[in-house]
Copies of this chain bind each other. A is one copy, B any other.
Amino acid sequence: MQEQFGKLKELVAEVADINHSIALLGWDQQVFMPPGGAEERGHMMGTLGKIAHEKFTSDEMGKLLADLKGHLPEFDRDSETYRIISVTARDYEKSTCVPSEFIAEQAQVVSMAQQAWMEARAKSDFSIFRPHLEKVVELSRRYVTFFLPTAHPYDILLDNFEPGMKTAEVKAIFEGLRPQQVELIRAISQRPQVEDAFMHLAYDEKTMWDFSVEVATAYGYDWKRGRQDPTTHPFCQNFGPDDVRITSRWVPELPFALLFGTMHETGHALYEQGVSHTWSRTALESGASLGIHESQSRMWENLVGRSRAFWEHFYPRLQERFKTQLGNVSLDQFYRGINKVQPSYVRVEADEATYNLHIMLRLELEIAMLEGSVAVKDLPEIWNAKMQDYLGVVPPNDAKGVLQDIHWSGGMLGYFSTYALGNLISVQLWEKFKSVNPELDNQLRKGDFSSLLSWLRGEIHQYGRKYEPQELVERVTGSRIDPAPYVGYLKNKYSEIYGL
């Protein structure tokens, strides 16, 4: 058995190496590749992807896993061996369920859909994207038939991004949450708006970049195992825990997007830099799920980076760098400005109070499309109606409405709810940490993030994919994912800012 386990680890390590290589090809493509390189880059990624899939779904892998699963009862459920075998077996079963012809067909549909989506968004013309989205939905409906039936077919899509999470659970969470968030933003809208003109002045890019580096460094990002580069869309990409790179973006009209983007991606990066080497080059080597990942990025972006305590330390430093723009803006004005609530059309620009409503809308539409209760052709109309219901605003065109996100064109149905779950989990973890470390606010006021980071490392990061998200949240906080702390946090924060 030890020999078989060794052989399994060896095979999986090779697959991990290939996947890390694909990740580097992707990183380079987004950060440094000259435009001429695109076609050959597609070939390179296609070939490596095919080899990784073949290796991971090989008969040899199947036999090893079948044998090793027979030995699972000999091991403690919490042991490394048990988890490596069971998580790898689960991944293997998911990978082998889907016929390779389907994967090839999907790749083709998605490639066309992404082209069409770009054109449709540029022209704000949903009819260009519609036939492609219909194919994507049809593929998703076929995709779920490859798996054993679940309580809801959407469970299968969700599981790809949030292992173990069920549609019913997410719906229940969101249904409890939605009226409270809707109510909160209605209350806010009746109060005088905060002043944030200082956020729309001209700022120097290099100075803002350097400040973002200062913050990432203070958070504990290890530059010997990472780097930050400018890109169009901020992201975090890693090749094992010792090379975890982030990017951020400079938009002159939104000068603070660079800073909050860096905070967000640093949150992802701190997670990956903190995964134990025990899991390196195994199936458990990275974050537990997109939701848990987002809990880390949102925590460092919002719970830390948009808190008053954080800025008590950092605001004088920022003012020093931007005397012209911020010299006459008080800490209190600044704090209110960066926390302005304003229902808007575009998810990625949404504030903390409205963000989850954008997600709920998408989740409801995805489930309805999969069930067949909403037809793709009716999507723009329903989108706009829900925007009116939840946020009280209706996008002026489809580019700022139903066409704004890339996810559906990439075939990624099942993805969106992880963003909102991450917000909820971030506050659950935060409250838990404050209960064991009542000094947190004082530490933030000193720019000291070490006890927060070391707690996250010990409770979350080190485990990689050892635990499923709900299991992990329950281990750390004592309860499963729960919207109550998040609602409490929002009410508290915005009552103070808007005098509710």
- Residues on A lying within 8 angstroms of B by beta carbon are 13-14, 17-18, 20-21, 24-25, 28, 32-37, 39-41, 43-44, 46-48, 51, 222-227, 239-240, 242-243, 245, 280-281
Contact A20 B34 (CB under 8 A): no
Contact B48 A17 (CB under 8 A): yes
Give the residues in chain B near A240, CB-CB below 8 Å. 37, 40
Residue from the list B36, B239, B245 in contact with A222, Cβ < 8 A: B36
Contact residues of A: prevailing secondary structure: helix
Copies in the complex: 2
Known A28-B28, A51-B51; judge A20-B36 contact (CB<8 A): no
Give the residues in chain B near A44, CB-CB below 8 Å. 17-18, 20-21, 24, 239
Give the residues in chain B near A21, CB-CB below 8 Å. 21, 25, 44, 47-48
Known A25-B21, A47-B14; judge A34-B224 contact (CB<8 A): yes
CB distance from A3 to the nearest CB of B (A): 21
CB distance from A242 to the nearest CB of B (A): 4
- 18 other A-B residue contacts (CB within 8 Å) besides A34-B225, A34-B227: A13-B43, A17-B44, A17-B47, A18-B47, A18-B48, A24-B25, A28-B28, A32-B227, A33-B243, A34-B223, A34-B224, A34-B243, A36-B224, A36-B226, A37-B240, A40-B239, A40-B240, A40-B243
**Considering only CB atoms, which chain B residue lies closest to A39 in the complex?**
B242
Contact A40 B227 (CB under 8 A): no
**Considering only CB atoms, which chain B residue lies closest to A32 in the complex?**
B227
A428 to B227, CA, bound (A): 46
Name 20 A/B residue pairs within 8 A (Cβ), A-sorted: A17-B47, A17-B48, A18-B48, A21-B44, A32-B32, A33-B243, A34-B223, A34-B225, A34-B227, A34-B243, A36-B224, A36-B242, A36-B243, A37-B240, A40-B239, A40-B242, A40-B243, A40-B280, A41-B243, A48-B48
